Structure formats: structure tokens, C-alpha cells
Amino acid sequence: MSAYELLDMAKIAFNIVGLLVCLAGLSLVKYRRRKVLGAGLAVLGFLIAASPMLAQLFGLVSPPPAPIIPQ
């Protein structure tokens, strides 16, 4: 199993975990003493959710070569 296939399967898990972390951070922002912590958690959640796309964008994981289909 290649890294691309593994990342493709784990994409849903990254998105759900990132969404939950982001929502927890955004719920902390409304409290005055936890504003910085909440904003940091919201950014961290976004980065977790976007990490599969960012890994492909920065070339950490390359997709498998497409087969050439004769016409």
C-alpha cells in the first residue's frame, strides 16, 4: 500500500478530528481568558483537517502514476 492510498483512506478521519478540534477552539474564543488558546486550537484544527491536501500540495506524498491507456 502506497503512502497516497493510505492518505486517501485516512482523509475522512483527519477531517473529522480537525473539525472537532476547530469547534472546540471556537467555543473557547468566546471566553475572555481563553481567547488566545481558543484561536490557537481553531488554527490547529484547520491544519489537521487540511493536512492531507497540504501533504499533496507540498509534494510530501505523490500520487501513483496514471496508467497509459492505448486508444
DSSP secondary structure of 1-69: --HHHHHHHHHHHHHHHHHHHHHHHHHHHTSGGGHHHHHHHHHHHHHHHHHHHHHHHTTSSPPPPPPPP
State the pLDDT at residue 65.
74
State the pLDDT at residue 71.
63
Cα 28 from Cα 69, distance rounded (Å): 53
Q: What pLDDT digit, counting tens, does each position of 13-65 carry?
A: 999 999 999 999 999 999 999 999 999 999 999 999 999 889 888 988 887 77
Residue 27 in contact with residue 41, Cβ under 8 Å? no
Cα 53 from Cα 51, distance rounded (Å): 5
Residue 70 has pLDDT above 70, yes or no: no
State the pLDDT at residue 2.
77
pTM above threshold 0.75 = yes
